[in-house]
């Protein structure tokens, strides 16, 4: 240490001392002594601090016998506090008398780092009842209630305003989480996840391994690597006042996850094992072989060139051969899962105790689609070492590896179709394999019956499930170490260093037996990526009570984070044989050589943060937060942004005039306002780029470089200003009611803006446009039956409701922007982003049912597409622009994929150790674009839905809800869809139903067990919906903000039963 630092250090000590040490009174004094013990064991507690509240110089530390003694206490009533890391602090009153010794004993209760009543608020925690912002907490209690495969499932239906949508139900599949609506168009709208203080950069496309021509990409799910059993609590920060401490990353909400820490004194061992099985919850009802042939014949006879693909002789021959393939049955199977978790938690009783929590987990799941599954192994160590009573060093390491195998299911309807898309389409009159053992193909094998059937180039579904290899491996290590020093009684300094290291690899091979592999003589793709993130945080907190009225907590900090990303991808084709699969990718002889790419990026974040919490008489609360974020991703002129917020709260129930109202337990009103950001700019987007461009001189290629994009020196975060009005009301000792109204306006949206052609560029990313979200959230926790004793029946319920309305206010010039074309062979327009509408509405023709008879047809005053006249049995299409004929100009906004409201209801009933928990969850008022139906409700070139066949309009069935056979109900012209394809996505689902039995304590005491519990859980046992597809909780095209609510061969939902056992020692 140099002289200078020594000098600094000594001055620091002087400063701290002068801050914390008021003048000592030299009046008449008394003495207090006593013992501090553990409530559970009765054992003395060493190194506990006992002090006189408000006079930190009057304090003592307990010895090995738990004894303490404080002298020099001025006469009068004093408040004594006893504190010890790992225990809940306790306060007791004493009356100090001059020259006398009073005895005051303390019994402290061991506790985890956080009790249910304490919630994480970012860089600290707070008593729930004192929180000024809109924060939802998922407690340990809820976490332990049912077996949870992933954490995002836990968020589903349990907190108001948190909308979780399944992008894919496949094992390890992605979910999208929206907190208070979508406030970005091109950026990410996913919340920020903070795991044990480490903010996980959730850059969706940055983390994905290159898709390398696969039809499906899987973004890394930041929570997939975390073992749900390790979680102690989850806090969801929703309003700007709470998220402003995360500044530029707070606009989509923040989910704070805290893992289990050591507690108690003796080691507590917990073992959990569960096993379950699952089945596909619902399938498409499509025609069997006989029905299909009848349909094809009816269709053929009614066509403009009448044909009969299956004359009676052919039909009889096929049926006699017993060909009636149920393709869905072939690609689905009974799935299963096994889950083994072991945890040891405890703490040593030394003077400087060590708290520890060790866990290991193994989870494996076979998906319900043949060939899909995941295995995850994880290990976690959390250690906390106290050094004396003022220093704490802690570290945690979480390592996990998930290996999944996937079967291509989603995607296009042509040659890139996945197994599920293909299985719905494949006709029952084809066997799985031809006589020569090769897989049958709908084209050409179906065309044998009539070339007019013209079947699509869709791969054989069984070849996709059985022969395609697509394996994904995710390894992630999250490690964190911190040291915390209580410099003085009220002042703590915490410095932490953490890393998040992840690698992903994805290997895919299409052998010759698959359609794709056949055309390329084997197609191998390998891609890998590595991301590593470092974080350093330095946080100083100062907490002090001034007198009895004023509570002050200050927090200041400086943090830095750096994330590096490396990725590469290669693809080769034309292999000699399929033997080596993707393992010898160099042996492929693709014309022009393999496709190879690599990428690398770095992003950094440097932040200053500060927070003030002030409470007056526990009645009036003010919180002010400001974070200054500097991000490398922001452009040269906008490197730093300031994100302030303020919150005020009033606890009316603590007012003297309300305190006598017995039925009111707590009544608090909250008002918050703040500005937070969304930085989801990919790195380097503000910089100009040069691209390569070839030319040749004298017949030899030469390299060229030219500007491909223009710099934007002002590129910055999307800015969200949010106002929140909330009330928390607890009454009758049984009910906790929370209501919030919020309004968020996001400006400076990141949009691609068109540049004048004369610039030489087409477009550039710029901050233009705005979008608004407003809504209400209601939550009610009710203890309907409060048990008089532990054997009495109890009934608790948790109900939540949220409604959000989303509106695009401005797009920086244009009135509408289309999302990317939907990737089907139809080139359907993507969802529409239009000023005045919610983000991503569906755009198409409005159809309004089948024309029943000639009277109804005659009543239509306009012509159909291509100037034809509407006939009975046609689908009626509305002439929106009123020009007397259906043209492309008659397309309009026909539906919204965003629900009008979401609800969740959890009921827990228990009696004598038997507990029943049911989670009902639902959404209402959204539309789903079911693209699967374009094919299955039209011509017999693929199989057709039963409903479309049996309920088709005909002269004998004029009430049919589908147009006559031969008409496509879902399309007008080509590459467009009608509102007929939109379905009501509302549903109410029994997500989980658990019956558990807890071994009575009296019985447990006779065993080595501290406790035991067995349970049986059913997931997705029941869904009430009008949606005809596999699952209304679907978004197979996108986890982004546009093209949501679309179903093309999504991995279907499964229904599962799981049996489990928990043992605690």
Partner 1 sequence: MKNLFKTVALAAVVLGVSSGCQKDFLTEVPQDFVSPGIFYKNAGDATAAVNAVYGSFINLNSPLSSSQYMGRNLWMVLEYPTEVVTSRLSATNERSLVDNYHTQFNSAHAYLQGIWEAAYAGINRANSAIEQVPNVPMDAARRDQLVAEAKYLRALHYYYLAGLFGGVPLKLTATSSITGDNLTRSTAAETWTQIEKDLTDAAAVLPAAWGGSDFGRATKGAALTLLGKVYLQSAGTTGTAGDWKKGLDALQTVMTLGYALDPSYATLFNGTNERSKEIIFSLQNVRVDGSGGTLTQWFVPVTSPALYALSQQNQFQAERAFYDSYNANDVRKDGTWMTSFTNAGKLVTWAWTSGIQSATSYGSTGPVPRKYVDLAGASTNGEEPDVVITRYADVLLSAAEASNEVSGPTASAYDYVNQVRARAKVPNLTAGLSQGAFRDSVYLERRYELALEAHGLFDNRRNWTWSKARIEASMSNISTANKSPFTSATTKFDARPLGDKWKLYPIPLRACQLNPLLVQNAGWEDGVCK
CB distance 275 to 130 below 8 Å:
no
764 or 981: CB nearest partner 1: 764
Beta strands in 139-242, from DSSP E residues, in sequence order? 162-166, 175-179, 192-195, 198-200, 231-237
Q: b/e string for 49-87 if b means 16 or more Cβ within 10 A?
A: bbbbeebbebbbbbeeebebebebbbeeebebbbbbbbb
Least distance in Å: CB of 975 to partner 1? 18
495 or 1016: CB nearest partner 1: 495
Contact call for residue 857 and partner 1 (CB under 8 A): no
- Interface with partner 1 by CB under 8 A: which range of 13-21, 42-50, 387-395, 969-977? 13-21
User: Coil, strand, or helix at residue 890?
Assistant: helix
585 or 609: CB nearest partner 1: 609
Please select the residue that binds partner 1; options are 332, 449, 542, 742, rule is CB under 8 A.
542
- Interface with partner 1 by CB under 8 A: which range of 248-256, 749-757, 824-832, 959-967? 749-757
Q: Give CA angle at 966 (962, 970), nearest 5°.
A: 50
**Site for partner 1, residues 936 to 955, rule: CB under 8 A:** none
452 or 1014: CB nearest partner 1: 452
Contact call for residue 756 and partner 1 (CB under 8 A): yes
Please select the residue that binds partner 1; options are 688, 727, 799, 857, rule is CB under 8 A.
688
Least distance in Å: CB of 309 to partner 1? 23
611 or 668: CB nearest partner 1: 611
- Interface with partner 1 by CB under 8 A: which range of 199-207, 591-599, 854-862, 915-923? 591-599
Q: Alpha-carbon distance 176 to 1033, whole Å? A: 11
Please select the residue that binds partner 1; options are 599, 661, 900, 1026, rule is CB under 8 A.
599
Contact call for residue 434 and partner 1 (CB under 8 A): no
Please select the residue that binds partner 1; options are 26, 322, 757, 1006, rule is CB under 8 A.
757
CB distance 949 to 291 below 8 Å:
yes
CB distance 456 to 825 below 8 Å:
yes
Contact call for residue 683 and partner 1 (CB under 8 A): yes
Contact call for residue 818 and partner 1 (CB under 8 A): no
Q: Alpha-carbon distance 595 to 574, whole Å? A: 13
Per the DSSP assignment, residues forming a β-bridge with 269 are: 344
DSSP state at residue 87:
B
469 or 601: CB nearest partner 1: 601
338 or 562: CB nearest partner 1: 562
Q: Alpha-carbon distance 26 to 74, whole Å? A: 8
Write the burial class of residue 684 (CB in 10 Å: 0-12 exposed, 13-18 middle, 19+ buried). Answer: middle
Q: Which helix (H) or strand (E) holds 295?
A: helix 289-301
Least distance in Å: CB of 696 to partner 1? 5
**Site for partner 1, residues 690 to 729, rule: CB under 8 A:** 690-708, 710-713
Least distance in Å: CB of 597 to partner 1? 9
Q: Alpha-carbon distance 496 to 396, whole Å? A: 11
Please select the residue that binds partner 1; options are 269, 554, 671, 727, rule is CB under 8 A.
554
- Assigned token pair, 102: 């009073």
Least distance in Å: CB of 451 to partner 1? 14
23 or 696: CB nearest partner 1: 696
The interface mask with partner 1, positions 605-624, x = CB under 8 A, is -x------------------
Mark out the alpha helices in 434-483 (DSSP H runs): 442-445, 461-467
Please select the residue that binds partner 1; options are 43, 548, 583, 602, rule is CB under 8 A.
602
- Please work out the total of residues on this chain that contact partner 1, with binding judged by CB under 8 A: 78
Please select the residue that binds partner 1; options are 8, 93, 101, 784, rule is CB under 8 A.
8
Contact call for residue 16 and partner 1 (CB under 8 A): yes
Contact call for residue 548 and partner 1 (CB under 8 A): no
DSSP state at residue 23:
P
Least distance in Å: CB of 189 to partner 1? 24
Phi-psi region of 724 (alpha: psi -120 to 50; beta: other; left: phi over 0): beta
**Site for partner 1, residues 761 to 800, rule: CB under 8 A:** 761-762, 764, 766
Contact call for residue 594 and partner 1 (CB under 8 A): no
Beta strands in 39-84, from DSSP E residues, in sequence order? 49-52, 55-61, 67-74, 76-83
Contact call for residue 592 and partner 1 (CB under 8 A): yes
Least distance in Å: CB of 124 to partner 1? 15
User: Coil, strand, or helix at residue 38?
Assistant: strand
Q: How many CB atoms lie within 10 A of CB 113?
A: 21
Contact call for residue 184 and partner 1 (CB under 8 A): no
CB distance 777 to 725 below 8 Å:
no
CB distance 353 to 86 below 8 Å:
yes
Please select the residue that binds partner 1; options are 274, 645, 680, 686, rule is CB under 8 A.
686
**Site for partner 1, residues 557 to 576, rule: CB under 8 A:** 558, 560, 562
Contact call for residue 860 and partner 1 (CB under 8 A): no
Q: Give the list of residues 6+ apart from residue 326 with CB closer than 8 angstroms, or none.
A: 288, 428
Mark out the alpha helices in 105-244 (DSSP H runs): 140-143, 151-155, 204-207, 240-243
- Assigned token pair, 47: 């190194």
9 or 792: CB nearest partner 1: 9
687 or 1021: CB nearest partner 1: 687
- Interface with partner 1 by CB under 8 A: which range of 40-48, 416-424, 642-650, 680-688? 680-688
**Site for partner 1, residues 625 to 664, rule: CB under 8 A:** 630-634, 639
Distance of CA 175 to the CA centre of its chain: 5
Q: Peptide bond preceding 849: is omega within 30 degrees of 0, i.e. cis?
A: no
Contact call for residue 755 and partner 1 (CB under 8 A): yes
Q: Alpha-carbon distance 713 to 699, whole Å? A: 41
For tokens 């020196």, name the residue.
713
Contact call for residue 889 and partner 1 (CB under 8 A): no
67 or 682: CB nearest partner 1: 682
- Assigned token pair, 683: 């790195």
- Interface with partner 1 by CB under 8 A: which range of 27-35, 751-759, 796-804, 1042-1050? 751-759
Please select the residue that binds partner 1; options are 397, 652, 739, 753, rule is CB under 8 A.
753
Contact call for residue 546 and partner 1 (CB under 8 A): no
Contact call for residue 760 and partner 1 (CB under 8 A): yes
- Interface with partner 1 by CB under 8 A: which range of 3-11, 50-58, 277-285, 652-660? 3-11
639 or 871: CB nearest partner 1: 639
639 or 852: CB nearest partner 1: 639
Q: Alpha-carbon distance 719 to 771, whole Å? A: 10
DSSP state at residue 945:
B
Please select the residue that binds partner 1; options are 317, 433, 550, 689, rule is CB under 8 A.
689
Least distance in Å: CB of 707 to partner 1? 5
Contact call for residue 395 and partner 1 (CB under 8 A): no
The closest alpha carbon to 278, from 1060, 1059, 1054, belongs to 1054
Q: Alpha-carbon distance 840 to 928, whole Å? A: 12
Contact call for residue 1065 and partner 1 (CB under 8 A): no
CA distances from 160 to 145, 682, 802, 1025 (A): 19, 31, 5, 21
Q: Give the list of residues 6+ apart from residue 423 with CB closer than 8 angstroms, or none.
A: 327, 328, 330, 331, 461
**Site for partner 1, residues 471 to 510, rule: CB under 8 A:** 491, 493, 495, 497
Least distance in Å: CB of 708 to partner 1? 7
Q: Give the list of residues 6+ apart from residue 296 with CB closer than 8 angstroms, or none.
A: 309, 310, 449, 453, 940
Q: Alpha-carbon distance 830 to 843, whole Å? A: 8
């Amino acid at each position: 240490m140099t002289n200078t630092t020594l000098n600094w250090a000594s001055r620091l000590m002087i400063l701290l001392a002068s801050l914390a040490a008021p003048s000592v009174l030299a009046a008449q004094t008394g003495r207090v002594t006593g013992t501090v013990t553990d409530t559970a064991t009765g054992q003395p507690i060493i190194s506990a601090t006992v002090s006189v509240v408000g006079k930190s110089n009057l304090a003592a530390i307990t010895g090995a016998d738990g004894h303490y003694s404080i002298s020099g206490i001025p006469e009068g009533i004093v408040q004594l506090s006893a504190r010890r890391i790992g225990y809940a602090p306790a306060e007791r009153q004493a009356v100090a008398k001059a020259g006398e010794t009073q005895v005051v004993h303390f019994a402290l209760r061991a506790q985890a780092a956080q009790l249910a009543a304490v919630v994480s608020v970012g860089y600290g925690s707070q008593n729930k009842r004192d929180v000024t912002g809109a924060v939802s907490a998922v407690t340990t209690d809820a976490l332990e209630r049912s077996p949870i495969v992933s954490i995002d499932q836990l968020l589903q239906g349990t907190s108001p305003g948190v909308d979780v949508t399944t992008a894919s139900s496949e094992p390890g599949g992605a979910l999208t989480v929206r907190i208070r609506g979508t406030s970005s168009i091109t950026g990410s709208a996913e919340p920020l996840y903070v795991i044990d203080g480490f903010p996980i950069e959730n850059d969706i496309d940055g983390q994905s391994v290159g898709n390398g021509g696969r039809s499906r990409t899987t973004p890394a799910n930041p929570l997939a690597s975390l073992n749900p059993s390790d979680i102690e609590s989850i806090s969801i920060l929703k309003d700007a006042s709470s998220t402003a401490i995360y500044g530029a990353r707070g606009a989509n909400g923040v989910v704070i996850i805290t893992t289990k820490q050591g507690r108690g004194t003796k080691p507590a061992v917990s073992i959990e094992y569960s096993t379950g099985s699952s089945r596909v919850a619902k399938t498409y009802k499509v025609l069997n072989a006989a029905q299909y042939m009848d349909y094809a014949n009816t269709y053929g006879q009614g066509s403009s060139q009448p044909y009969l693909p299956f004359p009676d002789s052919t039909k009889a021959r096929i049926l006699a051969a017993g060909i009636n393939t149920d393709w869905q049955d072939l690609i689905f199977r009974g799935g299963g899962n096994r889950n083994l978790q072991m945890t040891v938690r405890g703490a040593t009783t030394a003077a400087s105790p060590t708290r520890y929590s060790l866990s290991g987990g193994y989870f494996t799941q076979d998906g319900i689609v043949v060939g899909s599954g995941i295995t995850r192994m994880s290990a976690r160590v959390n250690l906390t070492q106290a050094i004396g009573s003022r220093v704490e060093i802690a570290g945690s390491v979480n390592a996990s590896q998930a290996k999944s195998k996937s079967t291509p299911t989603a995607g296009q309807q042509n040659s890139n179709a996945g197994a599920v898309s293909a299985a719905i389409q494949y006709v029952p009159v084809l066997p799985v394999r031809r006589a020569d053992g090769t897989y049958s193909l709908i084209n050409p094998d179906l065309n044998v019956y009539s070339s007019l059937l013209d079947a699509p180039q869709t791969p054989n579904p069984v070849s996709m499930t059985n022969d395609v290899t697509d394996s994904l491996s995710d390894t992630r290590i999250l490690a964190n170490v911190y040291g915390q020093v209580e410099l003085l009684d009220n002042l703590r300094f915490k410095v932490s260093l953490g890393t998040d290291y992840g690698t992903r690899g994805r290997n895919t091979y299409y052998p010759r037996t698959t359609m794709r592999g056949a055309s390329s003589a084997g197609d191998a793709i390998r891609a890998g990526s590595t991301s590593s993130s470092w974080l350093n945080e330095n946080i100083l907190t100062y907490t002090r009570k001034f007198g009895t009225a004023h509570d002050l907590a200050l927090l200041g900090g400086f943090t830095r984070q750096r994330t590096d990303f490396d990725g590469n991808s290669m693809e080769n084709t034309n292999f000699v044989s399929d033997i080596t699969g993707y393992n010898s990718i160099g042996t492929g002889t693709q014309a022009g050589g393999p496709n190879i790419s690599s990428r690398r990026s770095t992003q950094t974040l440097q932040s200053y943060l500060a927070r003030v919490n002030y409470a007056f008489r526990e009645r009036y609360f003010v919180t002010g937060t400001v974070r200054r974020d500097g991000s490398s991703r922001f452009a040269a002129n906008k490197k730093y942004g300031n994100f302030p917020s303020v919150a005020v709260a009033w606890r009316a129930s603590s007012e003297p005039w309300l305190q006598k109202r017995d039925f009111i337990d707590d009544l608090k009103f909250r008002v918050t306002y703040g500005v937070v950001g969304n930085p989801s700019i990919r790195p380097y987007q503000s910089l100009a780029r040069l691209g390569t461009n070839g030319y040749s001189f004298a017949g030899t290629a030469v390299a060229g470089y030219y500007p491909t994009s223009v710099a934007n020196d002002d590129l910055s975060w999307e800015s969200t200003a949010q106002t929140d009005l909330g009330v928390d009301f607890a009454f009758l000792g049984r009910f906790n009611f929370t209501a919030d109204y919020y309004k968020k306006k996001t400006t400076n949206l990141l949009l691609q803006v068109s540049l004048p052609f004369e610039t030489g560029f087409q477009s550039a990313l710029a901050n233009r446009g705005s979008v608004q979200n407003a809504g209400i959230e209601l939550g009610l926790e009710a203890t309907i039956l409060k048990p008089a004793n532990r054997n009495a029946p109890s009934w608790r319920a948790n109900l939540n409701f949220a409604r959000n309305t989303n509106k695009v206010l401005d797009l920086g010039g244009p009135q509408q922007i289309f999302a990317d074309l939907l990737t089907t062979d139809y080139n359907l327009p993507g969802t529409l982003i239009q000023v005045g509408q919610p983000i991503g509405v569906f755009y198409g023709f409005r159809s309004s049912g089948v024309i029943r008879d000639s009277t109804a047809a005659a009543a239509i005053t306009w012509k159909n597409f291509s100037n034809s006249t509407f006939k009975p049995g046609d689908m009626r299409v509305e002439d929106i622009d009123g020009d007397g004929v259906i043209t492309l100009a008659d397309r309009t906004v026909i539906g919204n994929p965003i629900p009008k409201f979401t609800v969740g209801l959890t009921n827990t009933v228990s009696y004598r150790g038997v507990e029943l928990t049911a989670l009902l969850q639902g959404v209402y008022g959204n539309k789903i674009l079911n693209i699967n139906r374009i094919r299955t409700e039209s011509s017999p070139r693929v199989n057709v839905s039963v409903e479309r066949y049996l309920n088709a309009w005909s002269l004998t069935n004029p009430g049919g809800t589908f147009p006559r056979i031969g008409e496509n109900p879902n399309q007008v012209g080509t590459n467009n869809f009608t509102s007929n394809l939109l379905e009501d996505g509302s549903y109410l689902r029994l997500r989980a139903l658990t019956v558990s039995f807890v071994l009575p304590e009296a019985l447990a005491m006779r065993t080595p067990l501290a406790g035991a519990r067995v349970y049986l859980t059913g997931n997705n046992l029941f869904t009430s919906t009008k949606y005809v597809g596999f699952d209304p909780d679907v978004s197979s095209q996108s986890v982004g903000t546009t093209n949501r609510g679309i179903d093309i061969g999504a991995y279907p939902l499964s229904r599962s039963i799981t049996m489990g056992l928990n043992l605690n020692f």
